[in-house]
Amino acid sequence: MDEISERIEACIAIEKTVAEIYNTFSNMFPEAMAFFRELSREEEDHATILSVAKAYHNVRKLPAHIVPGPLPDIYGTLDRVRSIRERARSGDITLKEAMDMAAEIEDTVAENYLQETLMAETEDRVILNLKKLLIESRTHGQKISEFRASLGI
């Protein structure tokens, strides 16, 4: 597997792990169930977009600058979200702590994904979908802040 494929695979693992965390939160906090389920579905959508990008890369080769990287940063993010997943699975957290973890996840993931991709001009559908993913990752942080404020935490 080439480095770009490996980077994309690691990003898919991040998105799936984050989706699992949000699903866990949706089951733990009935008052936030719909909110966390929506985030979980969106993270699954991100994993799908990345899977399409990987398939595209296998045929046409994506430019390296539009794929998150470098690998050590991606693996660091993956380790961090896996650690958060384990804490979430423990079930010993408050809704405020879950919101803090969600905000941390989105800050970390958006920061890791923020590349020249948002600046690149393109008509390519796959690259446009990657740009959408980056924008949505940044938007999740805003959604979390707004929902947290609506709960008064």
Domain positions in the chain are 3-151
Give me the sign of the Cα torsion angle 49, 55, 60, 66: positive
Rounded mean pLDDT, 38-65? 86
Query: How does pLDDT run across 20-43, given as a tens digit for each residue?
Result: 999 999 999 999 999 999 999 999
* Max mean pLDDT range (65-79, 88-102, 115-129): 88-102
Which of 109 and 148 is assigned the larger pLDDT? 148
Share of the chain above pLDDT 70, in %: 86
Say what the pLDDT of residue 116 is. 46
Say what the pLDDT of residue 23 is. 98
| Whole-angstrom distance, CA of residue 99 vs CA of residue 144 | 7
In CATH terms, the superfamily for domain 3-151 is Ferritin, core subunit, four-helix bundle (1.20.1260.10)
| Whole-angstrom distance, CA of residue 141 vs CA of residue 153 | 15
